[in-house]
């Protein structure tokens, strides 16, 4: 029974976090850039940034609700509601542009419930981070394993394009059972209202900055201005949280910056995915036992800088590809294992920072887009097993600088919090 009480929260939060993260990514349409470039009025409400911001808002509201009255009953209701929202397109006609919002609401409810189950404890909080960031790191690889399926189109086809559930119903049912059992056995942790307000501010600022300064149609100058604003706000939130919780938020920002480069996965890349996933989980285990935050941030900066290396004769950045296949999962795993939070809101929202901050993964400055049907690519072209995709050098340089800033500011937040606590406690 004691072993179950230790293992169940970790398993539940890892599964819940993974389902939430994957459903966010899977719900996004394939014509977001087209919608933003044509100035559609609903363009701000179908992006990855909108989905991430709405997920944070929902997760915080769920945490507030379940800590106010009858926590376990409220948490059980929120669990069922969140999973029903993710499954909704399987029962009700939902258009692709609407599904971005419904999935974000469902994912936010799941993340909030996982935060309630974790209660700020070290291992269950690691489960949330592992599930969410694992879905972020390996989404494209897992999509290849699922096989070809129709894309989600939000504007380029006439009439509403109806979609299905982003996660198989059988998996959603199993997730519901696991989370409900974990909720029933969960202890109610301490909830800090000020932390919730800080998280909401961060989500709102990221959304506004993306819409007006940092979306895919922005210039390099306005994009860098947007990055500067978000880093300052993130530091303010981290300083308000203080201690390890503040450092955890800065670690999330560093991971978000490393997403400026991304891997493309081919049909035969499953074995590379397996190796990378094992490295990720193993690095998390090492980080949970030893505080290697400084080494992890340094490694993350080196890996991100690999996006600046010149490509080879085959138009592939071979060194950068190896770094992102092998070292990037290790760096992220070490970082989230080491920079663990101690309070409910920080442990819940920290791993969501890469989802709520898409300035690097989505809208970093890129060369003019060229499509396969006009750039001379032959119809029988076979892509590599796995390859690295990078933006213009300015995006990579800014990302590396942000990671180093996170390293410095994260250590400063923890040190200043320790000094404030020491001063307030007296001699």
Q: Looking at residue 69, what is its pLDDT?
A: 79
Residue 68's pLDDT is 83
Average pLDDT, integer, range 232-244: 91
Which residue would you say has higher pLDDT here, 347 or 414?
A: 347
Kindly state the average pLDDT of the residues 329-354: 91
Q: Evaluate if pTM is beyond 0.75.
A: yes
Nearest C-alpha neighbor of 406 from the set 278, 288, 301, 260 = 301
Would you report the helix, strand and coil content of the chain in percent, each value rounded to 5? Answer: 70, 0, 25
Hey, is 226 helix, strand or coil?
helix
Render pLDDT for 369-425 as a digit per residue (tens, 0 to 9): 665 555 555 666 667 889 999 999 999 999 999 999 999 988 888 666 544 544 444
- Mean of pLDDT values over 289-303: 94
* pLDDT given at position 417: 52
Q: Are 356 and 203 in contact (CB under 8 A)?
A: yes
Q: What does the pLDDT read at residue 72?
A: 87
Q: Say which residue, 53 or 39, is predicted with more confidence.
A: 53
Give the model's confidence band at 86: pLDDT under 50 very low, under 70 low, under 90 confident, else very high: very high
Task: Give the C-alpha separation, 328 to 169, whole Å.
Answer: 32
At 144, is the pLDDT very low, low, confident or very high (cuts 50, 70, 90)?
confident
**Percentage of the residues of the chain whose pLDDT score is greater than 90:** 68
The pLDDT value recorded for residue 416 is 65
pLDDT, tens digit (0-9, with 9 covering 90-100), for 188-219: 777 888 889 999 999 999 999 999 999 999 99
pLDDT of residue 403: 97
* Helices and strands, number each (H, E), in the chain: 17, 2
Q: What pLDDT does 426 receive?
A: 42
Q: From CA 103, how far away is CA 165, in angstroms rounded?
A: 9
- Check pLDDT > 80 for residue 111: yes
Task: Please indicate whether residue 156 or residue 238 has the higher confidence score (pLDDT).
Answer: 238
Q: Which residue blocks in 290-327 are alpha helix, DSSP H?
A: 293-305, 318-322
For residue 113, what pLDDT band results from cuts at 50, 70 and 90?
very high
Query: In percent, how much of the chain has pLDDT > 70?
Result: 91
- The one-character DSSP state at 43 is G
Q: What is the number of residues in the chain?
A: 427
Q: What is the pLDDT of residues 63-72, one digit of tens each?
A: 999 988 788 8
What gap in Å lies between CA 116 and CA 82, rounded to an integer?
14
What's the whole-number mean pLDDT along residues 78-83? 95
pLDDT at 423: 44
* CB atoms inside a 10 Å sphere around CB 178: 18
Average pLDDT of the segment spanning 343-365: 94
């Amino acid at each position: 029974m004691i072993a179950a009480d230790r293992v169940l929260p970790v398993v539940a939060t890892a599964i819940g976090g993974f389902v939430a993260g994957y459903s966010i990514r899977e719900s996004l349409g394939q014509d977001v850039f087209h919608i933003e470039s044509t100035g559609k009025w609903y363009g701000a409400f179908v992006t990855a940034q909108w989905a991430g911001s709405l997920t944070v808002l929902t997760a915080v509201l769920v945490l507030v609700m379940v800590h106010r009255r009858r926590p376990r009953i409220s948490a059980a209701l929120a669990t069922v509601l969140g999973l029903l929202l993710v499954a909704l397109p399987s029962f009700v006609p939902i258009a692709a542009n609407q599904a971005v919002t419904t999935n974000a609401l469902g994912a936010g409810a799941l993340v909030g419930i996982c935060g309630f189950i974790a209660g700020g404890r070290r291992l269950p909080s690691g489960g949330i981070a592992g599930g969410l960031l694992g879905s972020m790191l390996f989404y494209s690889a897992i999509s290849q394993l699922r096989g070809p399926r129709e894309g989600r189109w939000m504007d380029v086809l006439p009439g509403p394009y109806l979609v299905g559930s982003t996660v198989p119903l059988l998996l959603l049912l199993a997730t519901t059972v696991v989370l409900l059992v974990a909720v029933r056995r969960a202890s109610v942790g301490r909830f800090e209202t000020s932390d919730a307000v800080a998280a909401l501010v961060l989500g709102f600022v990221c959304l506004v900055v993306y819409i007006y300064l940092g979306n895919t149609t922005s210039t390099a100058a306005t994009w860098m201005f947007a990055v500067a604003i978000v880093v300052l706000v993130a530091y303010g939130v981290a300083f308000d949280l203080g201690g390890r919780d503040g450092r955890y938020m800065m670690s999330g920002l560093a991971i978000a910056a490393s997403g400026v480069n991304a891997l493309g996965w081919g049909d035969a890349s499953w074995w590379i995915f397996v190796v990378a996933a094992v490295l990720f989980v193993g690095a998390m285990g090492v980080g949970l036992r030893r505080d290697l935050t400084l080494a992890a941030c340094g490694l993350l900066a080196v890996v991100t800088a690999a996006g600046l290396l010149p490509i080879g004769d085959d138009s592939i950045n071979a060194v950068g590809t190896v770094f992102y296949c092998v070292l990037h999962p290790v760096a992220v795993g070490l970082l989230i294992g080491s920079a663990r939070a101690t309070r409910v809101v920080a442990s819940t929202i920290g791993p969501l920072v890469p989802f709520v901050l898409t300035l690097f993964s989505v809208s970093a400055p890129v060369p003019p887009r060229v499509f396969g049907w006009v750039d001379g690519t032959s119809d029988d072209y076979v892509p590599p097993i796995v390859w690295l995709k990078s933006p213009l050098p300015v995006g990579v340089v800014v990302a590396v600088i942000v990671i180093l800033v996170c390293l410095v500011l994260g250590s400063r937040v923890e040190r200043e919090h320790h000094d404030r606590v020491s001063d307030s406690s007296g001699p």
